[in-house]
Structure 1
Amino acid sequence: MNPAQSTSPTSPSTPRSPDPRPTDPRRLTGRRGEDIAARYLTDQGWRVLERNWRPGPGMRGEVDIVALQPAPEGPGVLVIVEVKTRTSGVAGPPAAAVDRLKLARLRALAAAWAAGHPQPHAGLRLDVVSVQLRAGRPALLRHHRGVGG
């Protein structure tokens, strides 16, 4: 067997599809920002339910993070979190990339996720977490709650 090939555990002779992990710098930057945002949310006591969720056929897009913000009593708020990451300020603040078209897509994706997942919740909200990566220094994070509402 060629060392560059790997096989599926269920079918030893069928080559696997290429590794889905991102390799280009923009995707790696985005992944790093999502990791920072997910860690921030869990540090705040939120429960991350899903990351990088994509709907089925007929709908495009991706939800970066689906999380449950805890409530003092009863179910928490279901939050769809869009993460925007930048390595410089040249293109403006990260959250500025979330325009009304992106918000409309996020609303549709949020409804699709909620319809397909019977997660008890006391409301649904869209948030944006912007992450500014800085070489040799900690990232700057800003949490924008209830965007486009």
Structure 2
Amino acid sequence: MDGRKSLGNHFEGVAARYLTSRGIRILERNVYNRGGEIDLIGQENDTLVFFEVRYRGEGSLATPAESVTFPKQRRLLKAASYYLHRHGLWNCNSRIDVVAISPGTVKKYRVQWIKNAIQAGF
């Protein structure tokens, strides 16, 4: 496994633990389909949530949240739409959230959970 993928898996684990501690039930990790990759899929009450996990270290020019560019947003919408279609879940409540992780000052990491970060109207 290359360093970048290993780092990604580490921060997806950090995000999964954070979300679980806040009541999210993680259903799947690293879901690949024709639409693209979804880092985490979870459930909050009756809502299916697709999570994009972003990490940026010290000295990065953009914050983790800012790194979710418009082309990345389009790919996430496509991946989520494909997942919903493939699993026959068009009628379920769903949303796309971003979990932004950066080095912390008091704790090891600063985690920012941005609910409904990418809106689609699906």
Decide: shared fold, TM above 0.5. yes
TM-score by length of 2: 0.84
**Structure with higher RCO (Cα < 8 A, 6+ apart):** 2
Unaligned runs of 5+ in 2: none
Q: Which residue of 2 aligns with 1:11?
A: none
* Contact 2:39-2:53 at 8 Å conserved across structures: yes
Letter in 2 for 1:51: R
| Count of residue pairs the alignment pairs up | 119
User: Which consecutive segments of 4 or more residues in structure 1 shift more than 4 A?
Assistant: 118-122
1:86 aligns with 2:61: no
Q: Which moved more, 1:111-120 or 1:90-99?
A: 111-120
TM-score with structure 1 length normalisation?
0.70
Offset of 1:113 from its aligned partner? 1.1
Change (3 A) 1:78 1:60: closer
The 2-side partners of 1:140 and 1:89 are apart by 15
What is the alpha-carbon distance in structure 1 between the residues aligned to residue 2 and residue 104 of structure 2? Answer: 20
Gaps of 5+ in 1: 1-21, 71-75
The one of 22, 40, 49 aligned to 1:44? 22
Deviation per CA, 1:68-124, whole angstroms, max 9, x where unpaired?
112xxxxx1111100001222423211111111111111111111122235697411
| Residue pair 2:25, 2:43 contacting (<8 A) in 1 also | yes
What RMSD, in angstroms, separates the aligned Cα atoms of the two structures? 2.3
Local SS of the residue matching 1:52: strand
Higher-strand-fraction structure:
2
Please say if residues 47 and 69 of structure 1, whose CA atoms lie closer than 8 Å, have aligned partners that are also in contact.
yes
C-alpha contact 1:77 1:121 (8 A) present in aligned 2? no
**1:65 aligned partner:** 40
Structure index of larger Rg = 1
